[in-house]
Chain A
């Protein structure tokens, strides 16, 4: 449409050859550009896949760390056991000394077996990291439809896992054979904690905090403190005041400097007890506090694994709906092919901004195809505009006459004029 500036004037001057020569190179350029711009677009879309690579990497790191910690612990235990034996060997019979050393040897052998097994698990995780890189690399203009379908499935599995719809997530992953491309195992780890919190137990949650202590500390996570508060509240609820105070001294006091206000508020429940009507304390005893803890845990969990806090589905859906949203989507005649013709999508899009256009984009009412230089818009005498393709086809079938599908008027093809839209 860029050459519309010059073509109508030359047309008006009767120099139609100028039009065609002006059109050809530009059209050729337009035809040649899509593949490269398409590749550029693909490259841009791949840049969105950070989480896809980061999550298995974090999982991999975590496994490595756990195995290493285990090795360190065991070896150091063996070393100090040798040292200790050397120190008290005066009182030791030879048989006892040999037995002692022999037990240390089998302890080391046990560790070795465990680490060998662990190394196999690490290798599998490394393979998964690599498989994801290979999957990203396999995107191509040729397999784009299939690749995009897989991407949608990945996004859906991510959504279902975050919503704790584990069975459906597993089913989709298995039936599509994409287990390596989704993070079911990672989320099953979260499931343990989530389930326990829903059962009003803090144990697994605290264990998880201990496991990830240094990283949670680095991100200034409040989760452990919140879990401790809840445990304290439960002691108060059970009227176990003495234990509550002991508990607070041991587990809450260390957080005092950071969360003084919250600590004070919770300590005050000792005076009010669980049947308090005072709203600021009553809320602490409500069951929804546990739901809140589940949400907190999910957030910390996502952060730790380098995931977005929102499901990918929501992020993409929001971007897509905003990019698609025009005032026309909400009009009566909105085509069914537009997702925004549907009530559900319209509701989701309601709080989102409209898209913006800097250039006209015209879609033929009849063929739904874009009208451009290849298929330029033609104006009927009644002011309605359709694509050349549609009208030519209509005219060829009806002895050169065309019917306006929206008004029912009929015209001769010769009465139509071209419109130039820049």
Chain B
């Protein structure tokens, strides 16, 4: 699609609109001028024949105005603009999909659930005022459950932005055990950052004290990192000119803020990305395919409204791939518990049913459909993705 052609088409319409405007004003001016001229004439005829003059002047004005056909002129300028507008609307209809609800299944979403999802979305994006406003207007008071945990998270992140690690460290120490279970080294990395901050301010003693209290507990598991950090003590106050200057990189702050967000959401039982953003983004990618399908199936409206599975694949980007889906290349069917994927000795994977069909008997070797190698049923084993 060429947006520039559409822009040009619109610019032509806008030009016509301006033209029509000035033409209308022109017509009004002309009418006004005629009337003013008539007035002047009346005022200039001194006493004279009076009535008769007025009458002839007015009749003359009437004729002149009639000859001018101002109504036709007004209509003419408008007509041309209208033609342009209609044409432009047709261009839009041609280049864009004029009805994206064609693939819509006629079911009513539960408004209450949708509102809850939206309120959560606002809170988790840190839009607290907006969230409150929405909750109030939509009358969904119980949708505010996510507010206070995310208030806490954004408080921590805000503090980090002004280089204050205190709230982050407090949170991490409270969640220490959970973080460890998640395999996250967030706590150590926060302490490390704090240690470097103290050191950079030049206070070697304080840094040492800090290291003894907070870094020592990590020494057994994170030997190498701790050794490096302790070596930093030699460069207190001039870390930027040391072999460890990298510790000062602002990217540590950014990455840690991201990791903290991730861990915070995870411990809340929430996803990192807003689920509403993900679902809508998937919808925008998937809808064009669904619309094409709906057009093809236009005659089978009932089938469309009732089907249990889409008849064609809707290709989404890999960011939307949350589950392993195995499709047997022979049967073209999705694997199930009853018909799981099986690995053949050659490395090819087929569904169990396919293998049973190919083998005919459990002991006789059969040829893999994808390579010359042979296998027996017994040599195949089930896979778990």
Residue ranges of A at the interface with B (Cβ–Cβ < 8 Å):
4-6, 8-9, 11-12, 41, 43-51, 53-54, 57, 61, 64, 68, 71-72, 75-76, 78-79, 82-83, 85-86, 89-90, 92, 94, 97-98, 101-102, 104-105, 108-109, 111-112, 115-116, 119, 122-123, 126, 129-130, 133-134, 136-137, 148-149, 151-152, 155-156, 159-160, 163, 165-168, 171-172, 175, 306, 308-310, 312-324, 326, 328-329, 334-339, 341-342, 344-345, 347-348, 351-363, 365, 368-370, 377, 379, 383-385, 406, 417-422
Question: CB distance A360 to B325 under 8 Å?
Answer: yes
Given known contacts A53-B92, A75-B71, A353 and B109 CB-to-CB distance under 8 angstroms: no
Chain B contacts of A319 at CB under 8 A?
Answer: 103, 282-284, 286-287, 290
Question: CB distance B54 to A89 under 8 Å?
Answer: yes
**Interface range on chain B: under 10, 10 to 19, 20 to 34, or 35 or more?**
35 or more
Chain B contacts of A83 at CB under 8 A?
Answer: 62
The reply to whether the CB of B299 lies closer than 8 angstroms to some CB of chain A is: no
The reply to whether the CB of B280 lies closer than 8 angstroms to some CB of chain A is: yes
Query: Measured between alpha carbons, how far is A94 from B41 in the docked complex, in Å?
Result: 11
Question: CB distance B10 to A148 under 8 Å?
Answer: no
A375 CB to closest chain B CB, in angstroms?
A: 11
Nearest CB to that of B21 among chain A residues? Answer: A119
Residue ranges of B at the interface with A (Cβ–Cβ < 8 Å):
1, 3-4, 6-7, 10-11, 13-14, 17-18, 20-21, 24-25, 27-29, 31-32, 35-36, 38-39, 42-43, 50-51, 53-55, 57-59, 61-62, 65, 70-71, 74-75, 78, 81, 85, 88-89, 92-93, 95-101, 103-105, 107, 109-111, 113-114, 116-118, 121, 127, 129-130, 133-134, 137-138, 265-266, 269-273, 275-288, 290, 307-314, 316-318, 320-327, 329, 332, 334, 341, 343, 346-349, 370-373, 381-385
Question: CB distance B279 to A321 under 8 Å?
Answer: yes
Question: CB distance B322 to A167 under 8 Å?
Answer: no
A41 CB to closest chain B CB, in angstroms?
A: 6
Question: CB distance B371 to A12 under 8 Å?
Answer: yes
Q: A78-B31, A86-B55, A337-B271 are in contact. List 18 more A-B contacts (CB 8 A).
A: A8-B347, A8-B348, A43-B1, A48-B97, A50-B98, A57-B92, A86-B58, A86-B59, A94-B50, A108-B31, A115-B25, A119-B21, A133-B3, A324-B279, A324-B282, A356-B312, A361-B325, A363-B385
Query: Measured between alpha carbons, how far is A29 from B137 in the docked complex, in Å?
Result: 52
Given known contacts A111-B28, A324-B279, A362 and B326 CB-to-CB distance under 8 angstroms: yes
Question: CB distance B323 to A329 under 8 Å?
Answer: yes
